[in-house]
Each structure stands twice: as structure tokens, then as C-alpha cells.
Chain A
Amino acid sequence: QVHLVESGGDVVQPGGSLRLSCTTSGFIFSDFGMDWVRQAPGKGLEWVASIWFDGSDAYYADSVMGRFTISRDNSKNILSLQMNSLRAEDTAVYHCARNYQRVNDFWGQGTLVIVSS
């Protein structure tokens, strides 16, 4: 059974940093691309970043380019999102999702990030 569990969400001041993790199980992690998708309060789903199955390439939304870094450890089945220079508009629930043949077929429940002074 596929499981994705996010962790690392917290309250952080503007300009601060935070690292999110997504611990996975139930599938061969190294076979799949992975995504981060967020939902700000009262807003819809917004794609944040994607990483290839082997970590060789990554893509970012314009809103986080240069501030966020997606990475993965295929030996530990963990996806990460390093978030720097955080802004109030980064406040959101962050979900990790498996990317399989043009579909995000499995998702985690999310972890809440609040950027506030």
C-alpha cells in the first residue's frame, strides 16, 4: 500500500528557512518522479516543484524559483523540499505527490507551513 507522509511544517519568520520531508513506502521510490504541491489558505492547489526519478533534473514554479530546492534520497525513500527566504505568501499546506505517467496518483495529507512574524 502506497503511503506518503509529510513532516517538517512549522511557524517561521519571514526570511527564514524550513526543510520539509516526505517519507514514502509501499512502492519502489526510485522508479517515480515526485512533486510538491501546496494549498494556501482559501486558495486552490498550486504546483511547487518536481524532481525526476533519479534526481537528475528538477523544475520549479516561478513563485519559488531560486528560493526552494527539491531533492531526494533514493536510499532512504525520502523526498525533501528546502525552503529559504520564506515569505508570507508561502504560507500553505504542502503536499508531496507521486508523479506517474502524467498523473499525481498518490498524495500525502500535507504539512502546514506558516510564515509570520
Chain B
Amino acid sequence: DIQMTQSPSSLSASVGDRVTITCQASQDIYNFLNWYQHKPGTAPRLMIYDASNLDTGVPSRFSASGSGTYFTFTIKSLQSEDIATYYCQHLHNENVFGQGTRLE
């Protein structure tokens, strides 16, 4: 089974900060890596698919990169509405989430 290790588990940041989250897979997953934003009481929102592609409507301050086993997710200039928990996910034959990164 593939394991996804996400870090940090929590992150304190201010409006305007550059924020980076990493996700490491236990084996090569090519670019089969997605990123989600989740706010309490709401539906998780797809932000990035296939490692680096912004989903429709996602602001350009969000970006992501990586392939193989190492992936990063970046918010170029943090806005107040970006406060949420972010998850990486590998969905291909199995569905595995990282532990989540809580932005504070």
C-alpha cells in the first residue's frame, strides 16, 4: 500500500506570506497527486489535479509541482479566505490521503 506523508501538520502564517506544503509518497506515483482545501462544515474543494494543474476557478496564487515521490503545494501570497486544512491525495487503484496541513 502507498503511504502519503504530508508536512507540516500545522502552519501559522500571516496574510501576504508565501506558504509551502510538501507531500511525499512511499513509492513512485508519477504525477497522480491531487490537492484539496477543506474548511470545517463544508465540502472539500479540489484545488490541484495531476500534480500541477489548477482546477477551474482556483486563484492563480495557488500552484503545485512535483513528480515521482516528492510534491509541493504553494500559496504565493496568503489571503484570509485561504485559512483551511489542505490535503494531498493519491487516487489510482487506491485512494490515499496525506495527514493534512492546518493553516492557522
User: Chain A residues in contact with chain B, CB under 8 A?
Assistant: 4, 35, 37, 44-47, 50, 59, 95, 97, 99, 102-110
Interface residues of chain A: helix, strand, loop or mixed (majority): strand
* Selected contact of B34 from candidates A4, A59, A104, A110, CB within 8 Å: A104
Contact B44 A99 (CB under 8 A): no
Return the contact of A107 from the options B32, B44, B85 (Cβ within 8 A). Answer: B44
Given contacts A103-B50, A107-B45, could you give 8 more A-B pairs where the C-beta distance is less than 8 Å? A44-B99, A45-B44, A45-B100, A50-B95, A95-B43, A95-B44, A103-B91, A106-B43
Contact size range, B: 20 to 34
Q: Which of B32, B36, B98 contacts A102 (CB 8 A)?
A: B32
Binding site for A on B (CB under 8 A): 32, 34, 36, 38, 41-46, 49-50, 55, 85, 87, 89, 91-92, 94-100
